[in-house]
Structure 1
Amino acid sequence: MRHFKILVLRAMACDNDASNHPSLMVTEAAESPERCEAQIAANAELMRDLGARLRKIDPPFVATLARGSSDQAAAFAKAVLETHGGPPTLSHAPSIGSIYGTTSPKFRDVPLIVISQSGRSPDLIAAAEDARRRGAIVIAIVNDVESPLAALSEYVIPVHAGPERSVAATKSFVCTLTAIAHLAAEWTGDPLLLAALNDIGDVLRKAGQADWGAAAPLLAGTRDMLVLGRGLTLSIAGEAALKFKEAAGLHAEAFSIVEVAHGPMTLVGGDDAVLVIGPIDQARAGLADRLADFHRRGSRIIASGMDEDIALADFKLPSATACHPVLSAIASILSFYPLANRIALMRQRDPDRPPHLSKVTRTL
């Protein structure tokens, strides 16, 4: 590991105060604890009523509709609903409705959860309209309740994130995950998750203080990397990989801790970097063995999770392990944002204004 230590020392020597610059990406993310606390209180009656209706309908399945970071939130919804006894959850591709206009008639009386921070993406609006014509129950999870998507939906769940100026979504993503967890708790009638959400503010405040940015010198010179998760943290890994690309210009791909062994494992060797966002529930099974595989190859392992699972990591990230697994997963992305921000600045990029991107993505 001598070469690894030299690499770290060189990266740290290149680091400076500028790499800790408080961008909008980070300052807006820091608002998440208070925003999520307020959201839980403001949406309490709405979530109770909607959860009761969805239990009464008892649909055979539920679908999600989203793109970008919101699609990672949709994957989180699948994980939360299915691990808490909810209905099978599938991803409905926007193009099926927006381009082909062939949304299945089997969507009648099926909830379609449409997730969009702006509520103004043309393809999502067109796909949601097509699904509603087919009889789907359209539920919009949005930050802008005055948006066209909100107007066409039967139910609107506000995430209450407030204005977000950075192109990279942070607090709106955290607030969306919180809204999804709240909906799942009421829908599945899970008293433990519902009670845990009362602590969301405290959990997120601790996560914000557990700044993962200290790991940045280990990754600043990396050209590409794997980001691993499983279960509730797989979508968090997906969002982290997306933010690495979007904000820092770092090529990162997310894989399941299990699925990475079915091919991608062959690409990882000595001094390659692996970021692991470890789950703290049953999905942690086999994590220690997987890290042992990477360790034997001399890979650089930066990991969060239970201490016994990440004992072989070269850099252990502080983790929210003394809370509900759903909250732990949400907390991990808030801890991650300063890491992406710091790497972006070390690579001479503006995390608030990624090239070729805008706040509202207009696709068809």
Structure 2
Amino acid sequence: MTPSHLAATPGTRMDAEMRQQPEVLAALAERWADLTAQVAALSGGAAPLGVAFLARGSSDHAALLGRYAVELTTGLPTCMVAPSLTTAYRRAPTGFRDWLLLALSQSGRTPEIVDLSRRYAAAGAKVIAVTNDGGSELAGAAHLSISLDAGPELAVPATKTVTGQLLAVLAVASGLAPGGLTQAQAAAVPDAVAHVLADIEAPERAARLLAAHNRLAVIGRGACYPAALEGALKLQETTGVMAHGFSTADFRHGPIAVCGPNAPALLLAGSGPADTDTLDVRTALAERRTPVLLAGTSPDTDLPWPSLGHLGECLPATVRTQQLALATARHLGIDPDRPAGLDKVTLTS
């Protein structure tokens, strides 16, 4: 296959960047002891009063995993910052002295994320930045910068920077208190992702179903909930399909009504204690004659990933949705590297 042929293949960049993920994640896992030690040292031995997360887009989904990890590991209160309260409503971020602010931006250049990080630092919060550019404005505004070092990401749909952020927030949680992911557990994640990427037939089969529909629900709970939200976003970005991500619990409270013969459901269910609920929702979906795709660790799954037994399963789950978005876009004749109307960096302020 010639280079010119490769350049003309839809999704070439996205595919290449997806395949770099095991290497990027392995490098982060090798830094685990250093990263967790830096997080622990930031507070000088005293736990923060709480942890706030500041993000937009895909970074928001990594922040959600961070909330799960911090609350599970430390029991500390957490919150998601609403940037508009400061940028539009002019409310100063008081009340966050001695909190930790975890600010996530793949580029490190989103103006509102940089601005709010500085404001929270001025209000007495310790700021950790997670970005792919260690020399970015966001990194410079933080007390501690965690650089993903994933290399340039050229495709508009973010892939390797998203999974890098997911692993980085687990490192932050592990640095705040005992009981988080160990270095050995972190080191198993890249292999699980590599295992998923080696299987291209399953997402191709699943894409044939999704390509026949223009709306779907992506559903998960616990570690799979951030992956469900990210998977829905990837399908939106790459195909234009009306995909929505839901918590399984919330899905039962009304949104299940959108599913039926012409609106399939993608269920993400790994090996965690919250995943049984997602598997159980298949009965209600069958009653609605909803086409269902199951991704996870069950024997009867359509899109399997290896069982890890911890929150790190969010990463292979997320990679499965990346594969599905890429394959569906190609089935529809869409180039996911250049989605209509989207730019790589969204400069919200």
Match of 1:14 in 2: none
Q: Which of the residues 104, 124, 133 maps onto 1:115?
A: 104
Shift of 1:274: 0.1
**Pairwise mapping of residues 169-208 of structure 1 onto structure 2 (< 5 A)?**
169-190=158-179, 193-208=182-197
CA 1:361 to 1:192, structure 2 compared with 1: closer, same or farther past 3 Å? closer
Contact 2:239-2:332 within 8 A present in 1 as well:
yes
Q: Provide the rounded CA distance (Å) in 1 between the counterparts of 2:233 and 2:199.
A: 21
Indicate the SS of the match to 1:330. Answer: helix
> AA paired with 2:305?
S
Indicate the SS of the match to 1:204. Answer: helix
Match of 1:167 in 2: 156
Contact 1:226-1:255 within 8 A present in 2 as well:
yes
Contact 1:213-1:336 within 8 A present in 2 as well:
no
Shift of 1:43: 5.3
Match of 1:362 in 2: 347
Q: Provide the rounded CA distance (Å) in 2 between the counterparts of 1:118 and 1:199.
A: 27
CA 1:101 to 1:145, structure 2 compared with 1: closer, same or farther past 3 Å? farther
The answer as to 2:340 corresponding to 1:341 is: no
Q: C-alpha root-mean-square deviation of aligned residues, in Å?
A: 2.2
Contact 1:242-1:252 within 8 A present in 2 as well:
yes
Q: Which of the residues 122, 129, 132 maps onto 1:140?
A: 129
Q: Which of the residues 292, 299, 317 maps onto 2:303?
A: 317
- Could you state the TM-score of these two structures normalised by the residue count of structure 1? 0.88
Contact 1:182-1:194 within 8 A present in 2 as well:
no
Query: Number of matched residues?
Result: 342
Q: Which of the residues 44, 51, 64 maps onto 1:62?
A: 51
Q: Provide the rounded CA distance (Å) in 2 between the counterparts of 1:192 and 1:72.
A: 19
> AA paired with 2:313?
S
Match of 2:28 in 1: 39
Shift of 1:24: 0.9
Match of 2:74 in 1: 85
Indicate the SS of the match to 1:25. Answer: helix
> AA paired with 1:357?
L
Indicate the SS of the match to 2:274. Answer: helix
Contact 2:11-2:335 within 8 A present in 1 as well:
no
Deviations 1:106-143 (A, max 9, x none): 11111100000101011111111221221111110000
Q: Provide the rounded CA distance (Å) in 2 between the counterparts of 1:84 and 1:22.
A: 38
Contact 1:279-1:325 within 8 A present in 2 as well:
no
Indicate the SS of the match to 1:105. Answer: coil
Contact 2:219-2:247 within 8 A present in 1 as well:
yes
Q: Which of the residues 284, 300, 304 maps onto 1:293?
A: 284
Shift of 1:285: 3.0
Indicate the SS of the match to 2:95. Answer: helix
Shift of 1:93: 1.2
**Pairwise mapping of residues 166-315 of structure 1 onto structure 2 (< 5 A)?**
166-190=155-179, 193-211=182-200, 212-307=203-298
Shift of 1:73: 0.8
CA 1:151 to 1:227, structure 2 compared with 1: closer, same or farther past 3 Å? same
> AA paired with 1:195?
A
Shift of 1:99: 3.1
- Could you state the TM-score of these two structures normalised by the residue count of structure 2? 0.92
Deviations 1:201-220 (A, max 9, x none): 21221121233233100010
> AA paired with 1:347?
L
Shift of 1:284: 1.6
Q: Provide the rounded CA distance (Å) in 1 between the counterparts of 2:96 and 2:78.
A: 13
Contact 1:241-1:253 within 8 A present in 2 as well:
yes
Q: Provide the rounded CA distance (Å) in 2 between the counterparts of 1:256 and 1:55.
A: 36
Greater CA drift, 59-68 or 88-97: 88-97
Indicate the SS of the match to 1:282. Answer: coil
Q: Provide the rounded CA distance (Å) in 1 between the counterparts of 2:65 and 2:31.
A: 22
Match of 1:3 in 2: none
Shift of 1:288: 3.0
Deviations 1:233-289 (A, max 9, x none): 101100000011111111101111111111111222224200011131110232332
Shift of 1:52: 4.4
Structure 1 unaligned segments of length 5 or more: list them: 1-18
> AA paired with 1:316?
D
Q: Provide the rounded CA distance (Å) in 2 between the counterparts of 1:351 and 1:257.
A: 28
> AA paired with 2:227?
I
Greater CA drift, 208-217 or 258-267: 208-217
Q: Provide the rounded CA distance (Å) in 1 between the counterparts of 2:128 and 2:181.
A: 24
Indicate the SS of the match to 1:140. Answer: strand
Structure 2 unaligned segments of length 5 or more: list them: 1-7
CA 1:191 to 1:236, structure 2 compared with 1: closer, same or farther past 3 Å? closer
Greater CA drift, 153-162 or 96-105: 96-105
Q: Provide the rounded CA distance (Å) in 1 between the counterparts of 2:323 and 2:204.
A: 5
Contact 1:108-1:135 within 8 A present in 2 as well:
yes
Shift of 1:191: 6.1
Question: Identity percentage over the alignment?
Answer: 31
Shift of 1:149: 0.8
CA 1:329 to 1:20, structure 2 compared with 1: closer, same or farther past 3 Å? farther
Contact 2:238-2:336 within 8 A present in 1 as well:
yes
Greater CA drift, 348-357 or 80-89: 80-89
